[in-house]
């Protein structure tokens, strides 16, 4: 158990819908990261937050957004969902930007 929690574990929704994925970092970690893993794209970095502020952006689509709240948990919002958004979404946390990262169990999103 890495100490990083993610909810829900599984999510099935329809095209065009909007979903919110939630992540709680390990105790003491200030940085939170979001990643997408799909069969065709592999593992991709989406976005990083540090102590509530956005610190780095990767291959995150404009339809996706995230935030980190004062209690340090983070949410990833995915809107106008397409079939190609079906993937495993991981959250990770670390004590600071780009320090050793620990991954949560992931949320498997299926868009039908």
Partner 1 sequence: GIQVEQSPPDLILQEGANSTLRCNFSDSVNNLQWFHQNPWGQLINLFYIPSGTKQNGRLSATTVATERYSLLYISSSQTTDSGVYFCAVVNNNDMRFGAGTRLTVKP
Q: Which residues bind partner 1 (CB under 8 A)?
A: 2, 33, 42-45, 55-56, 58, 88, 90, 92, 98-103, 105-106, 108
For partner 1, the closer of residues 55 and 73 by Cβ is 55
Q: Cβ atoms within 10 A of the Cβ of 73, count?
A: 15
Q: Which of 80, 55, 90, 49 is nearest to 67 (CA)?
A: 49
CA atoms within 13 A on the CB side of 96: 0
Min dist CB 68 to partner 1, Å, is: 17
Q: How far is the CB of 16 from partner 1 (least distance, A)?
A: 27
The rounded distance, in Å, linking the Cα atoms of 22 and 3 is 14
- Residue closer to partner 1 by CB (options 3, 84) is 3
Question: Based on CB atoms, which residue is closest to partner 1, 20 or 88?
Answer: 88
Report d(CA 40, CA 51) in Å as an integer: 32
User: Which CB atom, from 30 or from 56, has the smaller least distance to partner 1?
Assistant: 56
Q: To the nearest whole angstrom, how small is the minimum distance from the Cβ of residue 56 to partner 1?
A: 4
Task: Quote the least distance from Cβ 80 to partner 1, whole Å.
Answer: 25
Q: How far apart are CA 111 and CA 83, in angstroms?
A: 5
Q: What are the structure tokens assigned to 89, written together?
A: 């979404």
């Amino acid at each position: 158990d890495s100490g990083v929690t993610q909810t829900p574990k599984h999510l099935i929704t329809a095209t065009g819908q909007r979903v919110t994925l939630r992540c709680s970092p390990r105790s003491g970690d200030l940085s939170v990261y979001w990643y997408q893993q799909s069969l065709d794209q592999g593992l991709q970095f989406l976005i990083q937050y540090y102590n509530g502020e956005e610190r780095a952006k990767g291959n995150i689509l404009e339809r996706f957004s995230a935030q980190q709240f004062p209690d340090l948990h983070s949410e990833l919002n995915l809107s106008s969902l397409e079939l190609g958004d079906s993937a495993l979404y991981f959250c990770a946390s670390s004590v600071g930007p780009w320090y050793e990262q620990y991954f949560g169990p992931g949320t498997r999103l299926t868009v039908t």
